[in-house]
Amino acid sequence: MQDNSRRKFLGQAGAVAATSVIAATPAIAQEPIRWRFQTYAGAALGEHVTKPVIDAINKAAKGELEIELFYADQIVPTGELFQALQRGTIDGVHSDDDSMASPTPVRQFGGYFPMATRHALDVPVLFRQYGLGEIWSAEYEKVGVKWLSAAGQDPCNFNTKKPIRSLKDLDGLRLYTFPTAGAFLSRFGVVPVNIPYEDAEVAVQTGELDGMAWSGITEDYTVGWADVTDYFTSNNISGAWIGSFFINEKAWADLPEHLQALVMAAVESGHHYRNQWYWGGEASLRASGDKLELTSVPQEEWAQVEDAAAEFWSEVAEQGEIEEKLVGIFREYRKTINSAGFPYSRS
């Protein structure tokens, strides 16, 4: 009896000692998940449109996820972003669908689809209330990429070396712009030029470009374009850029659920930051900026551009089922805001 009790006591003591040793052994630290992320924006613009999101993720993830941010064309040219994302050369992208040559029917609706929006808040409304989010998600799932979220940014105005006060002033202008915007503007004699983002400023100085149809005035001042051009045209061909955050499908699937939620929260917070940064900048720089002279095309003449956009929409709608559905959504939304009156429409 005594031997059995002694063996039982020694066994219990050994178990307690072993547990103590295990408890005292420091846990082996998990290696952080590392992503490479590239934005469409150059460094000066990226500081505002993409970096706040990446910084927020890196801080909140506390070492579990570390994202290295690259700016326009640093890993691959912007036009190859989709392919690089799909292959896993990069893990994440912030871009419009048009610039990154998305092989989906939604491509030309990203960036600046002519006259599709009037204000930045139109974009989240279209994606959350009119079904664009479900369409984007489904189309990117077909090609093996995780679409996260879209938001609006600045309008697409003109900043140029020569003043634009009439539609005839567009004829022959060599402008840095987006693919779909360029295809539309070519109807008015614009010559679209496709060069790396960071080369645009120098291209104006050397005479290769006459200006840009790429952004609003906030961006012109931020990235240095206001230093090399002289005029800003208040008419725009679209009221808000449509851009999204995308993640490589496998990289997203491998991310734990709590980190997925963290990434989504940071992306949505970034949308809010950009909304106020652009909206406030557009107003203050038009009112008090001293680098660009403001010009405009009379509204009765600019109506020709709006009519041409309606024709452009009809042509796009004939390209396929998704295109027809999206054009229908834009038409429905346009009808709603026109009926709502000011400030949703111009009257």
Same structural domain for residues 126 and 139? yes
Same structural domain for residues 86 and 206? no
Same structural domain for residues 131 and 184? no
**Local confidence pLDDT in tens for the 347 residues of the chain:** 445 554 454 455 444 444 444 444 444 457 999 999 999 999 999 999 999 999 999 999 999 999 999 999 999 999 999 999 999 999 999 999 999 999 999 999 999 999 999 999 999 999 999 999 999 999 999 999 999 999 999 999 999 999 999 999 999 999 999 999 999 999 999 999 999 999 999 999 999 999 999 999 999 999 999 999 999 999 999 999 999 999 999 999 999 999 999 999 999 999 999 999 999 999 999 999 999 999 999 999 999 999 999 999 999 999 999 999 999 999 999 999 999 988 888 76
Same structural domain for residues 62 and 126? yes
Same structural domain for residues 206 and 136? no
Predicted model pTM: 0.90
Q: Is 142 helix (H, G, I), strand (E, B) or coil?
A: helix
Same structural domain for residues 78 and 124? yes
Query: What digits encode the pLDDT tens for the residues 269-322?
Result: 999 999 999 999 999 999 999 999 999 999 999 999 999 999 999 999 999 999
The one-character DSSP state at 323 is: H
Same structural domain for residues 96 and 245? yes
Same structural domain for residues 234 and 320? yes
Number of domains in the chain: 2
> Is 219 within 8 Å of 213 (Cβ atoms)?
no
Torsion of Cα atoms, 227 then 230 then 231 then 236, to 10°: -40
CATH number of the domain bearing residue 166: 3.40.190.170
Q: Classify residue 75: in a domain, yes or no.
A: yes
Q: Classify residue 268: in a domain, yes or no.
A: yes
Strands (E), the chain: 33-39, 65-70, 92-95, 145-152, 158-160, 174-177, 191-193, 211-213, 231-233, 242-248, 293-295
Same structural domain for residues 85 and 103? yes
Q: Classify residue 250: in a domain, yes or no.
A: yes
Q: Classify residue 332: in a domain, yes or no.
A: yes
Query: What digits encode the pLDDT tens for the residues 80-121?
Result: 999 999 999 999 999 999 999 999 999 999 999 999 999 999
Range of the domain at 223: 158-238+291-340
Q: Classify residue 73: in a domain, yes or no.
A: yes
**Separation between Cα atoms, residue 159 and residue 216, nearest integer Å:** 8
Q: Classify residue 14: in a domain, yes or no.
A: no
Q: Is 346 helix (H, G, I), strand (E, B) or coil?
A: coil
Q: Classify residue 164: in a domain, yes or no.
A: yes
Same structural domain for residues 76 and 196? no
Same structural domain for residues 112 and 217? no
Q: Classify residue 13: in a domain, yes or no.
A: no
Same structural domain for residues 51 and 170? no
